[in-house]
Amino acid sequence: MNDQPNNPFPSLIEGAVRLTMSSREIAELIGKQHDNVLRDTRNMLESLEKGLALKFEGYYVAANGKKNPCFNLPKRETLILVSGYDVVLRTKIIDSLRRPHDLQRQDQRKHHERRLAIRLHHQRVAALKPSVKRPEPLGPGLRLDAEVAAE
């Protein structure tokens, strides 16, 4: 019995040191011919950095025994490539990257609003408190009426 989950893209294995996806898997996933994906991958990698394509080049052995070129792309480059094919996917990626930034800005705004509300509250409370002065100490011959009545 095979305990491994059924993964249609075997190079994407969780827990591996590096997640990669081959250009053949990408072609299958997006429904394009592999030679077109190879061309697009080369163009993308060369646009990112001169000579970068060499870093990810590989090959696979076809059914006829022939070695054919392919690319084995890490997660970042895979996302760059496939997001270029699909506007909806590209939008989801951009939105998911913006979300933490937007949440951080909302948190900062809420924190600022709370601080302003607390400051206003303290100002209102201070305005409502009557100003109470401490009584001045009585001179040596003066006594309060309450003291005289108590005698």
pLDDT tens sequence across 89-140 = 878 767 776 766 666 777 778 777 888 888 887 787 777 776 666 666 655 5
Query: DSSP of the chain, one letter per residue?
Result: ---S---SSTT--TTSSS-EEEHHHHHHHHT--HHHHHHHHHHHHHHHSTTHHHHHEEEEE-TTS-EEEEEEEEHHHHHHHHHHH-HHHHHHHHHHHHHHHHHHHHHHHHHHHHHHHHHHHHHHHHHHSPP-PPPPPPPTT---HHHHHH-
The pair phi, psi for residue 60, each rounded to 5°, is -135, 155
The residue among 89 and 144 whose pLDDT is bigger is 89
Mean pLDDT of the chain: 77
d(CA 131, CA 98): 51
CA torsion angle for 95, 24, 20, 91 (degrees, to 10)?
Answer: 0
In the prediction, which pLDDT does 142 show? 60
Amino acid identity of residue 85, one-letter, is Y
The structural domains of the chain, with segments of one domain joined by +, span 20-100
What would the pLDDT profile of 41-68 be if each residue is shown by its tens digit? 999 999 999 988 899 999 999 999 999 9
